[in-house]
Amino acid sequence: DAAAGRLRARGLLDGEGELTDAGVALRRELEAETDRLDRAPYEHLGAEGVERLTELASGLTGRALAAGAFPAGMVGKG
């Protein structure tokens, strides 16, 4: 596939389609940046609201993971 070829050319994927060390580093950078950018919408909820939202989302995420909705390693911090 063309996208995988471009990622391999950039040194982000190996021949097996797995992330290289550079790919893992880029993913971590992107995760950190999206974490930083997504804070603002939740600030108005306050600590209690965020705790409740996290509780609700965790249950949904757990069910989705158990059903195989996401590839291994896609959800969560790595």
What b/e readout covers 46-66, taking b as 16+ CB neighbours within 10 angstroms? eeeeeeeeeeeeeeeeeeeee
Residue, of 62 and 78, whose pLDDT is higher: 62
| CA 67 – CA 65 distance, rounded (Å) | 5
14 Cβ neighbours under 8 A, 6+ residues apart = 8, 20
Predicted local confidence at residue 77, as pLDDT? 53
- Of the pLDDT bands very low, low, confident and very high (cuts 50, 70, 90), residue 76 is low
Query: Tens of pLDDT along 16-69?
Result: 999 999 999 999 999 999 989 988 888 889 999 999 999 998 888 888 888 988
List the domain boundaries for the chain.
1-37, 40-68
> Is 0.85 surpassed by the pTM of this model?
no
Q: What is the pLDDT of residue 68?
A: 87
DSSP structure string for 39-54: SHHHHTTHHHHHHHHH
Q: Which whole number is the average pLDDT over 4-27? A: 95
